[in-house]
């Protein structure tokens, strides 16, 4: 699990305010840099969030391995 902190419009079109319930679902654009299957057949995707929006997790990480099912094509 990673933590991303930035202005709301980067992650969602929702009209959020301090009284909103958190955490919320959102999106971060990324570039796919690799794919692999785990031994149990689960598809994993390596992504880089540095492109195209320049987003990094609080710790500075921009490369992540995520479940393929957690990605969507919002283009």
- Residue range 3-62, pLDDT digits in tens: 898 888 989 999 999 899 988 888 999 999 999 999 999 999 999 999 999 999 999 999
Q: According to the model, what pLDDT value does residue 23 have?
A: 85
Residue 74 pLDDT level (bands cut at 50, 70, 90): low
Distance in angstroms (rounded) separating the CA atoms of residues 11 and 29: 9
Residue partners of 14: CB distance under 8 A and separation at least 6: 8, 20, 24
pTM of this structure: 0.82
Residue 1 pLDDT level (bands cut at 50, 70, 90): confident
């Amino acid at each position: 699990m990673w933590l991303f902190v930035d202005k709301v419009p980067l992650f969602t079109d929702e009209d959020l305010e301090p009284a909103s319930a958190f955490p919320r679902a959102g999106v971060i654009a990324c570039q796919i840099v690799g794919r692999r299957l785990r031994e149990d057949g689960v598809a994993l995707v390596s992504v880089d969030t540095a492109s195209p929006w320049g987003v990094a997790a609080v710790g500075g990480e921009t490369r992540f391995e995520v479940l393929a099912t957690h990605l969507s094509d919002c283009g």
